[in-house]
Amino acid sequence: MIEQNLSLLLVVIPLLAAPVTAMLPAGRLPWLLTLIVSWTCLVIAGWQLSVVIDGSVISYELGGWAPPWGIEYRIDAMNAFVALILSGIAAITLPYALRTVEKDIPRHQTSLFYAVFLLCLVGLLGIAQTGDVFNLFVFLEISSLSSYVLIAMGEQRRALTSAFQYLIMGTIGATFLLIGIGLVYAETGTLNMVDLNLRLQPILDHRTVHTGFAFIVVGIALKLALFPLHLWLPNAYKYAPSVVSVFLAATATKVAVYIMLRMVFGVFSNDFVRITPTDQMFLLLGIFGVILASVTAIYQTDVKRLLAYSSVAQVSYMVLGMGLASVLGITATLVHVFNHALIKGALFMACGALVYRVGSSQFENLNGLGRQMPWTFSAIFIAGLSLIGIPGTAGFISKWYFMLAALEQQSWLIALVILLGSLLAVVYMWKIVEVMFLRPASDNVASVKEAPVSLLIPMWVLVIANIYFGFYTELTVNVADSAARLLGVAAYHE
Amino acid sequence: MKHNLILRVIAKYLFPVIALFAFYVQFHGDYGPGGGFQAGVILSVAFILYTLVFGLDTAEQVLSPGVLRILACTGVLLYAGTGVVTMLFGGNFLDYDLLALNPIEGQHIGIMLIELGVGVTVSAIMLVIFFAFAGRERS
């Protein structure tokens, strides 16, 4: 029974656990249940990936209604890969959550907090699992609504305005996606992704299909924080509770990247991307995104905001990979989805540890802290190297594949932008190093101790994963490559 | 509202009528227009009218925030639980055919159960939202 319902249990277990968590008494019990659930999800997601890694597909019919009429969960290598990233990040974030949530969230709200956290996980995992575009929209709303709540739970009152800003932008994005899905549905009469792909091919030149496509792409781009639609992101990450910043930074935009890939290449097609100016648009926005967001990151005076702008830049790399529209480009995008989740997870965890001890992530409060908190500081340093793309780290692998994809098409401009982005990353990561290590310590930090062990262990697991996946690339690259091929992306040839 | 005798009496009479209509929409949703969401909203309207006339404190004696939270969670559990039961019977998630010996009867039972789950959750959440706004001045 378990193996037959494997891909569904991944969504239903956290869905059942969320209301149970909400009814538990406040304290550590809700945390414990959430921890168990997220580790169970990780096991299931790993199992699922091991089933589909050979290129097979799991198809699950909800309610016994055969697709394309019923809702279908359709798991191929890409879905399973994204689901593994999501549940892995959730499983590693929860041990970290215990101490920071006790500090950030009032005690009587803890059970509700973890219930909302689980709902957010349900939404994200559901997006990864489903093969139905309307079901995808519903899960997107579940994850978005719960992330607005999670962000609004931040300590400062500014968290409310940031969450509201995100709510407005996110709702516009979701509405656009829904309008697009509606138009495409009107043209084809189906919502199943595989079926949509088949039925769209003969009518790809219809105006309605083009309009629907435009709505879908802009809607997802808002969720993706694609430059120039990224303005909601820095504040949302800055004012959210530490653990929420970690979780959302490592998962939310990655899932949006997945949706973009699935809709643009899976539902429409590689040819459609090439006959419309979609690939050039992705390249253009990607180039501007990498450079301008990195430059903006340099001028930040707050670690969290700096990392948030860096996230916008890194997402722009993924968009560059999509713009290249080749197997190598999509492989690079998917590899970077994985590696960036590791990098940003580690960096935001370190940042959360600073906030835990100092109460602020402003540069002026962090002077000379590197000597007081050596483990946190070295985590930032190593994850920073990975972000820049130094050989021997996970970040290098992604940059390497982006380079390969760009050079395959002789796009020297793209190659140059990728290098320039890395150089700018050196500058903004160096700013953190300079503040934390080279500046003299101010008096108020003299008594600051190293972060608690329960924060350091998850952080260092991710840091070590950054190094591990810099050497052993079988999992990431092979899965990403077979996912890109299953998506129907053609290899590049002139 | 202490002196508005007519309002108080009418509200008391309206309450069971509205609630009855909510249950009609709930349980007849199988055959006619309606269903859990609409029924949940209508049922919560009965309580909202009661609260408007008799005050928040009186209403919370009947439905405290704790009770509402449990009701809201129970509805979701009922819905998802129905799906889990069908899985335990060896079918897919929410495959109602397996809930009874006859598949048509199974479909009836299944849709009743999940619509009941929707109804309970929706009416509880509506009241939570209403109480949250109505109680703003107290906190």
Å between A12 CA and nearest CA of chain B: 7
Q: Which two tokens stand for residue A212?
A: 């629907």
Cβ <8 Å between B95 and A19? no
Closest CA to A304 of A262, A249, A348, A370: A348
CA torsion sign, A474 to A476 to A482 to A484? negative
* Residue A397 DSSP class: H
Cβ <8 Å between B81 and A1? no
Q: Which helix (H) or strand (E) holds A240?
A: none
- Between CA A364 and CA A347 the distance in angstroms is 19
- Between CA A251 and CA A236 the distance in angstroms is 14
B62 inside 8 A of chain A by CB = no
DSSP-based three-state secondary structure for A458? helix
Q: Which two tokens stand for residue A1?
A: 């029974």
Q: Which two tokens stand for residue A120?
A: 């957010």
Instruction: Please check whether residue A87 is in contact with residue A37, taking contact to mean a CB–CB distance below 8 angstroms.
Output: no
ipTM more than 0.85?
A: yes
- Between CA A442 and CA B51 the distance in angstroms is 57
pTM for the whole structure: 0.94
Measured between CA atoms, the residue of chain B closest to residue A1 is B90
Domain ranges across chain A: 277-494
Q: Which residue has the tokens 């972000």?
A: A387
Q: Which two tokens stand for residue A262?
A: 């699935």
How many CA atoms lie within 13 Å of B2's alpha carbon, on the beta-carbon side? 0
Q: Which residue has the tokens 């007519």?
A: B6
Instruction: Please check whether residue A407 is in contact with residue A329, taking contact to mean a CB–CB distance below 8 angstroms.
Output: no
What are the residues of chain A with a beta carbon less than 8 Å away from any beta carbon of chain B?
1, 5, 8, 12, 15-16, 18-20, 22-23, 60-64
Q: How distant, in Å, are the alpha carbons of A119, A307, A433 from that of A383?
A: 29, 12, 12
What angle in degrees, to the nearest 10, is found between the helix axes of A77-104 and A242-261?
160
Question: What number of other Cβ atoms are within 10 A of residue A267's Cβ?
Answer: 21
B69 inside 8 A of chain A by CB = yes
For residue B16, cis peptide bond before it (omega within 30 degrees of 0) = no
- Between CA A233 and CA A333 the distance in angstroms is 20
For residue A68, cis peptide bond before it (omega within 30 degrees of 0) = yes
Query: H/E/C letters for each residue in A112-154?
Result: HHHHHHHHHHHHHHHHHHECEHHHHHHHHHHHHHHHHHHHHCC
* Residue A215 DSSP class: H
DSSP for B78-139, written as a single string: HHHHHHHHHHHTTS-TT-GGGGSSSHHHHHHHHHHHHHHHHHHHHHHHHHHHHHHHHTTTT-
Per-residue pLDDT tens listing for chain A (494 residues)? 677 788 899 999 999 999 999 999 988 899 999 999 999 999 999 999 998 888 888 888 888 888 888 899 999 889 999 999 999 999 999 999 998 888 888 888 899 999 999 999 999 999 999 999 999 999 999 999 999 999 999 888 888 999 999 999 999 999 999 999 999 999 999 999 999 999 998 888 889 999 999 999 999 999 999 888 888 999 899 999 999 999 999 999 899 999 999 999 999 988 888 888 888 999 999 999 999 999 999 999 999 999 999 999 999 999 999 998 888 999 999 999 999 999 999 999 999 999 998 888 888 888 888 888 889 999 999 999 999 999 989 999 999 999 999 998 888 999 999 999 999 999 999 999 988 888 887 776 677 788 888 899 999 999 999 999 999 888 888 888 888 888 877 666 55
Cβ <8 Å between B73 and A19? yes
Beta bridge partners of A192: A132
Instruction: Please check whether residue B74 is in contact with residue B46, taking contact to mean a CB–CB distance below 8 angstroms.
Output: no
Cβ <8 Å between A60 and B80? no
B109 inside 8 A of chain A by CB = no
Beta bridge partners of A61: A72
CA torsion sign, A108 to A111 to A114 to A120? negative
Cβ <8 Å between A19 and B90? no
H-assigned helices in A299-326:
303-324
